[in-house]
Amino acid sequence: GENVEQHPSTLSVQEGDSAVIKCTYSDSASNYFPWYKQELGKRPQLIIDIRSNVGEKKDQRIAVTLNKTAKHFSLHITETQPEDSAVYFCAAAGNKLTFGGGTRVLVKP
Amino acid sequence: EPEVTQTPSHQVTQMGQEVILRCVPISNHLYFYWYRQILGQKVEFLVSFYNNEISEKSEIFDDQFSVERPDGSNFTLKIRSTKLEDSAMYFCASSPGQGARAFFGKGTRLTVV
Please check the confidence at residue A68 and state whether its pLDDT lies above 90. yes
How many angstroms separate the Cα of B103 from the Cα of each of A34, A50, A52, B9, B18?
12, 16, 20, 17, 27
pLDDT tens-digit map of B2-56: 899 999 999 999 999 999 999 999 999 999 999 999 999 999 999 999 999 999 9
Bridging pattern class, strands A10-14 and A62-67? unpaired
- Among B42, B56, B101, select the one facing A96 at the smallest CB separation: B56
What is the band of A62 on the pLDDT scale with cuts at 50, 70, 90? Answer: very high
d(CA B112, CA B23): 20
In this structure, the dihedral spanned by the alpha carbons of residues A39, B26, A101 and A59, taken in order and rounded to 10 degrees, is: -70
d(CA B113, CA B83): 8
Confidence (pLDDT) at B2: 86
Confidence (pLDDT) at A69: 93
Whether A98 contacts chain B with CB within 8 A: yes
- Among A34, A51, A95, select the one facing B48 at the smallest CB separation: A95
Distance of CA B83 to the CA centre of its chain: 16
What is the band of A89 on the pLDDT scale with cuts at 50, 70, 90? Answer: very high
- Among A34, A99, A101, select the one facing B101 at the smallest CB separation: A34
d(CA B104, CA B91): 7
Residue A73 contacts by C-beta under 8 Å, 6 or more apart in sequence? A22, A23, A25, A33, A50, A64, A65, A66, A67, A90
Confidence (pLDDT) at A95: 81
Cβ of B45 and A32 within 8 Å?
A: no
Rounded to an integer, the average pLDDT of A75-95 is 96
Q: Is residue B31 a contact partner of residue B49, using CB atoms and an 8 Å limit?
A: yes
Confidence (pLDDT) at B98: 80
Confidence (pLDDT) at B3: 94
* Shortest CA gap B81–chain A (Å): 25
Cβ of B98 and A94 within 8 Å?
A: yes
Confidence (pLDDT) at B17: 98
What is the band of A54 on the pLDDT scale with cuts at 50, 70, 90? Answer: confident
* Shortest CA gap A70–chain B (Å): 20
d(CA A80, CA B35): 30
Contacts of B43 in chain A (CB under 8 A): 44, 89, 91, 97, 99
